[in-house]
Structure 1
Amino acid sequence: MFLGNFIFIICIWTVKGDLFSKATRSRDDEKDIRNSVYDFIIVGGGTAGCVLANRLSANQDWKILVLEAGEDESIDYDIPGVPTKDFRPILWNYRTDRNGFSCLSRPGGSCEVKTGKVLGGSSVTNDMKYTRGYKKDYDAWHTNGEMGSLEWKFENLLEYFKASEDNGDYDVLMNSFYHARGGEMHVQKFKYTDRVMEVFLGAFAELGLRTMDINTNIVEAVVNNQFTIFNNTRQSTNSAFLKPVRHRKNLTVKTGVTVTKIMIDPQEKIVEGVWYEIEKGKEQPAYAKREIILTAGAINNVKLLHLSGIGPREELAKYNITTFIDLPVGYNYQDQVTTGGLAFTMSEVKPVSESEVIEDFKTWFQSRNGPLASRGINQISAFIQLFENKAAPDVELALEGNYVRSDKFMLTNISIHTAEETNMPLAYYNLILLNPVLLKPKSIGRITLNKRNPKYGRPVIQANLLKESQDLDAIVDSIDVALQLLNTNEMKRAEIKLAPIDMFPCDKLHNRDQWNCIARHYTKAIGNPIGTCRMGYNSTNSVVTFNFRVHGIERLRIMDASVMPTHVRGGIYAPTVMIAEKGAKLILKDWQENKSRYPSGR
């Protein structure tokens, strides 16, 4: 069934019921219906959604609707030194399900999973690092014998990485095979470097790590990272891609609305539109003449698909949801993982006064300079290879500065929770946390609907972090490497030592046994969830095709990190932008070649 001249009759019947016929509807009703019909509906104005909105609305003949549950971002989030990852109003504050092998001493025995709930999504709340992952990661997505997957080999993806890149570091741009200028997304290192950063760069160099561009498939390196910034200001996909085109008359962006269900023709297996809430219990329809594209992320995509009858038949039956398409939606959940507990302290730390911080905020707002125009020690990380013959790193040793107030920091034992509390902007720190991030975990989980309240409750995240023993071993191995920093001349001269962290309940253990215990108890989910709508050849073990089309249903695609079969060795920001760029190109190509009908070739 396609939405042609009789769209009004179908819409009115859906919204008003049988009695509200063509003969009785008013001009205002017809106008409302016309205004609710679009060519493309993008569900989720996050990292990928903003890129797609830009690319698709460039075709003036197409009418685009973006539906986002969060609100627009504030200028406060643009300050690099402000830690947005803990600002709850712009986050989906999810938690993993309790289990017996990770997050044991976290509140409720579960870990937080924080993703962006704001226009721009996690590109507003993430650490802004620009890391793409490795050739080996993408080549592994290729399935032998499946021609469509060849397009996902690394050499075929570079053009989509470079399409939106505007790299501002000339030493990096020298490698034009990997990098480009002229795109919407400005990428650059911070100019500000403090003495402690130099110490850690030198200490890692003593361990044999060179300072190199990690986005050129270097196996190991210490990195002064590049970030998505412009003029010392955070550049989210909202500010880079969406804001510059909000004036387009064919683009409508609605914030503060939640899509609750996808409309599906049960006979034709064709998606026709969505229902979305403008407030709890008050829903409105929107109809798509061409396609609906889900970009709500690896967690929220699952919830919406399940509520719409797309998912595992046995699972949906538990909630009395009719299954339209039986697909493994929600399986293959993966998130990168780290642990708290490893921290360093400096011999002399200058106290930071409230007036000083206020002045630094004024400086940033006036000139985009000063300490807040950086992320302090957070700019440094090291990528290390633990296992031979991998040709890629296994762990990122990510540094994170924190300022622990003097009334809590008396050079006596402080709890891990206190050490992790964010009290000040990132540029001020007297404590250095070292987070060993497992880049490609083997542990896999799943997502299901909330048992008590499927529609409004938080999805159940059975993350299974550290369930596989190899993941725990890799984290503890990397801690052994990190502790070697204490033996370097750089660290000794700077008098940087282990911080007095209270290891309870692992304080009676020693060496490796103690770190095993700490990792189990103080696990941290990085908040880079992927895989729940993975792409693949068939509907048995995947949700979408290699062209992002949902198996068995027409006019529905998914284009964000949820389609990634496995993690890449880096953050998911850059890969998600790449996925959106590739997806937009596919849509443009498909509809140019098939101007009058939906391209159903799979």
Structure 2
Amino acid sequence: MKFCDILSKIVPISLLLLSPADGDLFSKATRTKADERDVRNSVFDFIIIGGGTAGCLLANRLSAVSDWKVLLLEAGIDENIDYDIPGVPSKEYRPILWNYRTERNGYSCLSRPGGSCEVKTGKVLGGSSVTNDMKYTRGSKVDYDGWHSTGALASLDWKFDAVLEHFKSIEDNGDYDVLMNSHYHSRGGDMHVQRFKHVDRYMEVFTAGFTEMGLRTVDINTNVQEAVVNNQFTIFNNTRLSTNSAFLKPVRHRKNLQVITGAYVSKIVIDKQENNVDGVIYEVEKGKERPAYAKREIILAAGAINNVRLLQLSGIGPKADLKRHNITMIADLPVGHNYQDQVTIGGLAFVLSDVPVVTEAEVINDFKTWFQNRSGPLASRGIGQVSAFIQLYENFNAPDVELALEGNFIRSDKFMLTNVSVHAAEETNLPLPYYNLVNINPVLLRPKSRGKVMLNKRNPKYGRPVVQANFLKETEDLDTLVDSIDIALQLLDTKEFKKADIKFAPLDLFPCDRLSNRDQWNCIARHYTKAMSNPVGTCRMGENSTNSVVDYQLRVHGIEGLRIIDASVMPTHARAGIFAPTMMIAEKGAKMIIKDWKENNGHYYNRR
């Protein structure tokens, strides 16, 4: 019988557990009525760890079953209206970010501060859906089909034709030309998706330039290889729509749903004899531990880096890594292996010739316009609305690189006479719609390089996990980026660019400034690498416990009652950002849970 199945049996059992130092939920204490009441209030059917992109959606779907009690634990704060303005970049706002850094290596990030790259994911209700670019891209058919393993029947459920229904069940598409293709798109879901109506002159110039180079303007989410795209975004009424605002806020009133912010989960408590989960220990104040019990399942949705920390602290991970920290091993699984993140580079930028200086009064007035009627320049992402997807190689019917555009305003009247550093060209000085410089970021959509995440050596419980990213370790990744730069530079030869007098920006490219051609771009890529903060793979799904952490039902191998449902289970990237794929995984995962508990006679099946 599973722990916590019957409340009357929980109370006496819980009060006999060992101290937190021994890894259990309660210290020894005298039994009182207050103790019993606290225990009852701490019992839930499902505990979701992480109120991010996946967690908010899961909380919505599971709490829709009225007789299930659901707890959502989020380490960050609640979302605030400042993050709702599309033109305001929230990716740099540190209070709502987990600010990780990769370890130094000889392959990448060499001229970034400390010789390492930042990896910034959301630490807020809604997670990275509050801090990302809101771009709605799903990836290609070949990527999802590649998650299928021959001989593993359950993996067939992850092929593209099978997951498409979950993409569509979430989506409420507001662009009627896109909706014409009803095979790929739908109306009526919780997440509204559409293009911004605000289009400026340079968006049209760059789109025309790519079109002149031979790219079609088509919907990238219909499984095409190449396109120049005026992207769709997760917005409603020109306002950011995070998974918190789309899925969680509308159901926060449900009596069977409890949401706790500022909750740092330090351990998943597992019955070592039964190999099933009992509950979690979390802290709202550092050092003051609180328990919560799970009658049915614990769902881990804390992201590809934080999942590793929590699983390894709980005794689930590679035997050697756990032994190094004197952690008792419960399950020997490759937690933290197979780390992947999409990367881009700095240094590829174009300067616009006739952009007037933006005044403070103008910006303030535009803010007023947005707050009053959700319109004006701030109801857009500027040039960032446009990107081009490029297929460099013939191996797959899918793009290899996204040329993502990002505007910035450089405060220099003599810009063409002054060398500006790569870092200065990337720093955001004004809201996104105001720019006189366009950075072209060639995004490696399907990196080959693999890394590893491990516990902090000095402070495994509270310290930042060690991220050995190994960006650009595989030369194929470097070659792909540099090949795409050659294509981006062809824009300068188009009639559209010459007519608009757009030129290559004279950035200070030290220490690569004395090199030329391909050697210079190889050097720039190694020195000015930038992580896209789209980490996946550390808890990958698969058929067995040798090379995967969860099965194709997202259940942790060998542990009953524990699932992982977020981007960390992806074996590889889909050729897109991870936002839309993560929502799809959460939607599919929620349906799996409901099927297991509602259709399978209320039992959790964990066949291995």
Q: TM-score range by the shorter chain?
A: over 0.9
* Residue 29 of structure 1, CA deviation: 1.7
Matches within 5 A, 1:440-479: 440-479=446-485
CA distance in 2 between counterparts of 1:429 and 1:347 reads: 11
Residue 93 (structure 2) pairs with residue 92 (structure 1): no
CA distance in 2 between counterparts of 1:104 and 1:406 reads: 27
Q: Which residue is equivalent to 1:546?
A: 552
Q: Which residue is equivalent to 2:294?
A: 288
TM-score by length of 2: 0.97
- Contact 1:162–1:183 (Cα < 8 Å) also in 2: yes
Q: Which deviates further from its counterpart, 590-599 or 278-287? A: 590-599
Residue 17 (structure 2) pairs with residue 14 (structure 1): yes
* Residue 408 of structure 1, CA deviation: 8.3
CA distance in 1 between counterparts of 2:413 and 2:211 reads: 35
- Contact 1:591–1:599 (Cα < 8 Å) also in 2: no
Mark the runs of 5 or more structure 2 residues left unpaired by the alignment.
20-25
Q: Which residue is equivalent to 1:67?
A: 73
* Residue 382 of structure 1, CA deviation: 0.2
Residue 61 (structure 2) pairs with residue 55 (structure 1): yes
Residue 144 (structure 2) pairs with residue 138 (structure 1): yes
| Letter of the 1:2 counterpart | F
- Contact 2:76–2:96 (Cα < 8 Å) also in 1: yes
* Residue 19 of structure 1, CA deviation: 5.6
TM-score by length of 1: 0.98
CA distance in 2 between counterparts of 1:275 and 1:409 reads: 55
Matches within 5 A, 1:234-253: 234-253=240-259
CA distance in 2 between counterparts of 1:40 and 1:166 reads: 28
Residue 85 (structure 2) pairs with residue 82 (structure 1): no
CA distance in 2 between counterparts of 1:27 and 1:42 reads: 28
| Letter of the 1:525 counterpart | A
- Contact 1:39–1:63 (Cα < 8 Å) also in 2: yes
- Contact 1:408–1:414 (Cα < 8 Å) also in 2: no
CA distance in 1 between counterparts of 2:27 and 2:75 reads: 31
CA distance in 2 between counterparts of 1:388 and 1:596 reads: 49
* Residue 404 of structure 1, CA deviation: 1.2
- Contact 1:151–1:157 (Cα < 8 Å) also in 2: yes
Among 298, 312, 335, which residue is 2:318 paired with? 312
Q: Which residue is equivalent to 2:501?
A: 495
CA distance in 2 between counterparts of 1:439 and 1:42 reads: 29
CA distance in 2 between counterparts of 1:345 and 1:505 reads: 22
* Residue 593 of structure 1, CA deviation: 2.7
| Letter of the 1:154 counterpart | F
Q: Which residue is equivalent to 1:298?
A: 304
Q: CA RMSD in A?
A: 1.1
- Contact 2:596–2:603 (Cα < 8 Å) also in 1: no
- After superposition, give the CA deviation of every residue in 1:380-410 in whole Å (9 maximum; x if it has no partner): 0000011113210000000000011127846
Matches within 5 A, 1:193-208: 193-208=199-214
Q: Percent identity?
A: 73
Q: Which residue is equivalent to 2:22?
A: none
Q: Which residue is equivalent to 1:582?
A: 588
Q: Classify the secondary structure of the residue corresponding to 1:14.
A: coil
| Letter of the 2:287 counterpart | G
CA distance in 2 between counterparts of 1:19 and 1:284 reads: 14
Q: Which residue is equivalent to 2:230?
A: 224
Q: Which residue is equivalent to 1:351?
A: 357
Among 254, 260, 270, which residue is 1:264 paired with? 270
| Letter of the 1:488 counterpart | T
* Residue 18 of structure 1, CA deviation: 7.7
Residue 191 (structure 2) pairs with residue 185 (structure 1): yes
CA distance in 2 between counterparts of 1:188 and 1:214 reads: 13
| Letter of the 1:8 counterpart | V
Using a 3 Å threshold, how does the CA distance of structure 1 residues 19 and 89 change in structure 2: closer, same or farther?
A: closer
* Residue 6 of structure 1, CA deviation: 1.1
* Residue 354 of structure 1, CA deviation: 0.7
Q: Which residue is equivalent to 1:2?
A: 3
Q: Which residue is equivalent to 1:515?
A: 521
Among 336, 340, 345, which residue is 1:330 paired with? 336
* Residue 597 of structure 1, CA deviation: 3.4
Q: Which deviates further from its counterpart, 350-359 or 6-15? A: 6-15
Q: Which deviates further from its counterpart, 355-364 or 232-241? A: 355-364
Mark the runs of 5 or more structure 1 residues left unpaired by the alignment.
none
Matches within 5 A, 1:101-180: 101-180=107-186
| Letter of the 1:373 counterpart | A
Among 351, 373, 376, which residue is 2:379 paired with? 373
* Residue 13 of structure 1, CA deviation: 2.6
* Residue 59 of structure 1, CA deviation: 0.4
* Residue 9 of structure 1, CA deviation: 1.4
- After superposition, give the CA deviation of every residue in 1:501-542 in whole Å (9 maximum; x if it has no partner): 011000000010000000000000000000000000000000
| Letter of the 1:544 counterpart | V
CA distance in 2 between counterparts of 1:531 and 1:283 reads: 30
* Residue 28 of structure 1, CA deviation: 2.0
Q: Classify the secondary structure of the residue corresponding to 1:588.
A: helix
| Letter of the 1:514 counterpart | Q
Q: Classify the secondary structure of the residue corresponding to 1:544.
A: coil
CA distance in 1 between counterparts of 2:286 and 2:402 reads: 42
* Residue 459 of structure 1, CA deviation: 0.3
Q: Which deviates further from its counterpart, 529-538 or 7-16? A: 7-16
| Letter of the 1:562 counterpart | S
Q: Classify the secondary structure of the residue corresponding to 1:253.
A: strand
